[in-house]
Structure 1
Amino acid sequence: MKIKFFFILLVFSNVTFGQKTSPFICGHDHVMSINAQNFPDYRNRVDKTFEIAYKNMENGGARNETFKIPVVVHIVWKNNEENLHDSLIHSQIKVLNDAFRLRNENRTDIREIFKDLQADAEIEFELKDVIRVKTTANFSLSLTDLPDDVKRPANGGSSAIDVERHLNIWVCKIQPIPFIGGQILGYAYPPDGLSNWPDDASAPSKNLEGVVIDYRVFGLNNPNKLTVNGTTHQSSARTTVHEVGHYLGLRHIWGDGGGLFGGNSCNVDDGITDTPNQGTQSAGGCNKNSNTCIDLSNDLPDMVENYMDYSGEDCQNTFTKEQVALMRSVLRNQRKLLTNIQQDLEITGVKIWPNPCHTHINIALNDSKPTEVAIRTLDGKLVLNYKIQGTDVISCEGLSNGAYILELVNDTMHKVVKLIKVHD
């Protein structure tokens, strides 16, 4: 298969002619098409980053370490049922770990022809924090915007926590796709590899990095059901696995071919050589007889067991060896800081102590640039604001007990950390 591939504009992938599709979709196509509208070079940058990660797969695939990714989960809720219990959050982390370590119970359900392709990614996820924000906002998709307000406190969302060193997952109610029906279950930003670009350059903000998931498909045995046009989505908490795959650089297994009107597109693929050529997405279920591309040599059926298809969640059980190698390459390169977190931030030239704070906070920077320091509530309300240079001490005596967001901004840095205030 090709290493170089092209994204096909797929505005709404549940609108097709002569083709059965699922009303429940991933928002990856929308991330690509909407960002391409706003940032004309976005597709080229993401394509180029994929190629670089692909070329570096030999190192990324080396099995000399297990990557551990710290996770922050933001529960952004309006109605009580959206404020998910901690048990659902922990169960979702377990599903992620089982999938990426090939410990999932259904891993043996893969067909014999694909068994040798299964791989343990040796990637693990550690829950570092849960941030809960009550909101009055609705989070909707349009032809020009993603539901990224869930990441913006001023618009009813929750601020990302240090996106270079944490996987941020926002869980909220994603509104149905307007006018045509259908439902996005989640979406993620793929790595574009250009973290050195200034904030006003032609690239999406780094603070949008992460995964967004509808609250009804997050966690095992979620009591909240998602029904669209009389069809109820059967969730096994694998939507998050799929979206984290995108976050770590994977494409849909069919390469997003077919365009707006559907149909097979066997000349477009996912850039991974050990996934079979597939002409279109599965429409849920687990049709192991499906073969949407007939290859002249080494013809294989569609790999509906793959996490990057749209097959039913109970059907999905596998990342391939080359998919694993690509994700590990991304973690050694474009997302390398994810697996090297230091809680005191010394690695980034910032040290903050004590945290939790009682009466004051010491902030030490590795340069003397003027820096804005803001302390906000978890819903984004500004509580305190300071300007510092180099090393300084700021008071936290006026804060009530609880958790806050501490933000540091200057012309070369934007860092966000969680601050805890306690009284003696």
Structure 2
Amino acid sequence: MAAHMMLLERFPAFRAAQMRLENTTLRRRETGFDAAKVKIVTIKTVVNVVYKTTEQNISDAQIKSQFKAMNKDFRATNPDKNQTPTPWKGLVSDVRLQFKLVKVTRTQTTKSGFGVDDAVKKASTGGIAPFSPKTHLNLWVCALTGGLLGYAQFPGGPEATDGVVINYRAFGTIGTAQAPFDKGRTATHEIGHYFNLRHIWGDTPDCSGSDMVADTPNCAGPNFGTPTWPVVTCNNGPNGDMFMNYMDYTDDKAMFMFTAQQVIRMQTALDTLRGGLI
């Protein structure tokens, strides 16, 4: 969330847009908005590969493998959703979004790696600017430093940096994708942020935070690896943390669901600040 916090500090208009979006989301939730009845929307998507080495210049097949994975995740057609614990099976929800690859750009750089300062999104700092970010989701695939898997810009931020950045070792399901992040779930997680989802623990370590979603239990912090259910924190027993939610930090094979209330948040973002994508 470091990139998100930096934008909030630097851009008052972004803070204001986020507040308006939260208010709209709350009103929808209170009035019983039924996200399951909205039309299915196809998001035009651009992949910007920024590479220094031949290995980092990932193949078209690897790119296609990412789209196959995340289209299943966002339509809740992923077979592993059946692993959802019984108390939450009824919450597993179809976001009614799908993604179509319309353009791939390839940019060779002299930089060995990028951080969360958006350098990969600017030609002057070794990257490439987004393609029509108001109407297209831009995904940058590159080497990221510090063990970072990816990061995203929330709705309402500057167009010049809008989109999602993914480590080339955590993109897709073949090629350079490395276990335990080789099932395409890093992109699923980060695109969740792009559509205004927060981490399920609310980004605080003491049970005081909130992801502003009513059907994800409060939890003390991120889960890692492949936990055994239940993991009880913050007095959230008997079912515990929803660590199989895409917005936790578990391994790719351990996450496999969005909830109904998370879908409302994403649909609200799409209907407002992300409306140009429709």
Indicate the TM-score class for this superposition, using the shorter chain for normalisation. Answer: over 0.9
> How many angstroms apart in 1 are the aligned matches of 2:176 and 2:203?
32
Q: How far did residue 268 of structure 1 move?
A: 1.4
1:189 counterpart letter in structure 2? Q
Is the 2:171–2:177 contact (alpha carbons within 8 Å) kept by the matching residues of 1? Answer: no
For 1:59-98, what aligned pairs fall within 5 Å after superposition?
A: 59=33, 61=35, 63-98=37-72
> How many angstroms apart in 1 are the aligned matches of 2:63 and 2:98?
15
Query: Which residue of 123, 127, 131 maps to 2:101?
Result: 127
Q: How far did residue 40 of structure 1 move?
A: 5.6
Q: How far did residue 48 of structure 1 move?
A: 3.9
Higher mean Cα deviation, 75-84 or 156-165? 156-165
Q: Show structure 1 runs of 5+ residues with no match.
A: 1-28, 177-182, 193-203, 226-231, 259-264, 340-424
Aligned residue for 2:138, secondary structure, equals: strand
Is the 1:174–1:184 contact (alpha carbons within 8 Å) kept by the matching residues of 2? Answer: yes
> How many angstroms apart in 2 are the aligned matches of 1:74 and 1:60?
35
> How many angstroms apart in 2 are the aligned matches of 1:184 and 1:291?
27
Q: How far did residue 60 of structure 1 move?
A: 6.8
Q: How far did residue 139 of structure 1 move?
A: 3.9
Aligned residue for 1:184, secondary structure, equals: coil
**Paired position in structure 2 for 1:301:** 240
**Paired position in structure 2 for 1:416:** none
Q: Figure out how many residues of one structure are paired with residues of the other and give that number.
A: 276
- The yes-or-no answer on 1:162 pairing with 2:132 is yes
Query: Which residue of 185, 204, 209 maps to 2:149?
Result: 185
Partner deviation per Cα, 1:328-384 (whole Å, 9 max, x = no partner): 121111111101xxxxxxxxxxxxxxxxxxxxxxxxxxxxxxxxxxxxxxxxxxxxx
**Paired position in structure 2 for 1:370:** none
1:167 counterpart letter in structure 2? L
Q: Give me the identity figure in percent.
A: 33
> How many angstroms apart in 2 are the aligned matches of 1:59 and 1:111?
26
Query: Which residue of 226, 238, 250 maps to 2:185?
Result: 238
**Paired position in structure 2 for 1:319:** 258
Q: How far did residue 45 of structure 1 move?
A: 4.2
**Paired position in structure 1 for 2:162:** 209
Is the 1:31–1:189 contact (alpha carbons within 8 Å) kept by the matching residues of 2? Answer: yes
Aligned residue for 1:69, secondary structure, equals: strand
Partner deviation per Cα, 1:59-86 (whole Å, 9 max, x = no partner): 5715141011000000011100000000
Greater than 6 Å deviation, 4+ residue runs? none
**TM-score, normalised to structure 2's length?**
0.92
CA separation of 1:276/1:108 partners in 2, compared to 1, >3 Å: closer, same or farther?
same
CA separation of 1:110/1:248 partners in 2, compared to 1, >3 Å: closer, same or farther?
same
Aligned residue for 1:157, secondary structure, equals: coil
**Paired position in structure 2 for 1:269:** 210
2:93 counterpart letter in structure 1? A
Q: How far did residue 313 of structure 1 move?
A: 1.0
CA separation of 1:336/1:41 partners in 2, compared to 1, >3 Å: closer, same or farther?
closer
Is the 2:168–2:176 contact (alpha carbons within 8 Å) kept by the matching residues of 1? Answer: no
**Paired position in structure 2 for 1:287:** 228
Q: How far did residue 140 of structure 1 move?
A: 3.3
For 1:22-421, what aligned pairs fall within 5 Å after superposition?
A: 29-39=1-11, 42-43=14-15, 45-57=17-29, 58-59=32-33, 61=35, 63-141=37-115, 146-176=116-146, 183-192=147-156, 205-223=158-176, 225=178, 233-258=180-205, 265-295=206-236, 300-339=239-278
> How many angstroms apart in 2 are the aligned matches of 1:89 and 1:41?
34
Structure that is richer in helix per residue: 2
Partner deviation per Cα, 1:396-424 (whole Å, 9 max, x = no partner): xxxxxxxxxxxxxxxxxxxxxxxxxxxxx
Q: How far did residue 33 of structure 1 move?
A: 2.5
> How many angstroms apart in 1 are the aligned matches of 2:8 and 2:259?
29
> How many angstroms apart in 2 are the aligned matches of 1:95 and 1:317?
11
Q: Show structure 2 runs of 5+ residues with no match.
A: none
Is the 2:43–2:99 contact (alpha carbons within 8 Å) kept by the matching residues of 1? Answer: yes
Is the 1:76–1:132 contact (alpha carbons within 8 Å) kept by the matching residues of 2? Answer: yes
2:63 counterpart letter in structure 1? I
CA separation of 1:48/1:218 partners in 2, compared to 1, >3 Å: closer, same or farther?
same
Aligned residue for 2:101, secondary structure, equals: strand
1:188 counterpart letter in structure 2? A
Is the 2:129–2:161 contact (alpha carbons within 8 Å) kept by the matching residues of 1? Answer: no
Q: How far did residue 266 of structure 1 move?
A: 1.6
Is the 1:139–1:149 contact (alpha carbons within 8 Å) kept by the matching residues of 2? Answer: no
Q: Which has the larger radius of gyration?
A: 1
Is the 1:286–1:312 contact (alpha carbons within 8 Å) kept by the matching residues of 2? Answer: no
Q: How far did residue 279 of structure 1 move?
A: 1.3
Partner deviation per Cα, 1:75-132 (whole Å, 9 max, x = no partner): 0111000000000101101111000111112010111011011111111111111111
1:94 counterpart letter in structure 2? K
1:272 counterpart letter in structure 2? V
Is the 2:36–2:94 contact (alpha carbons within 8 Å) kept by the matching residues of 1? Answer: no
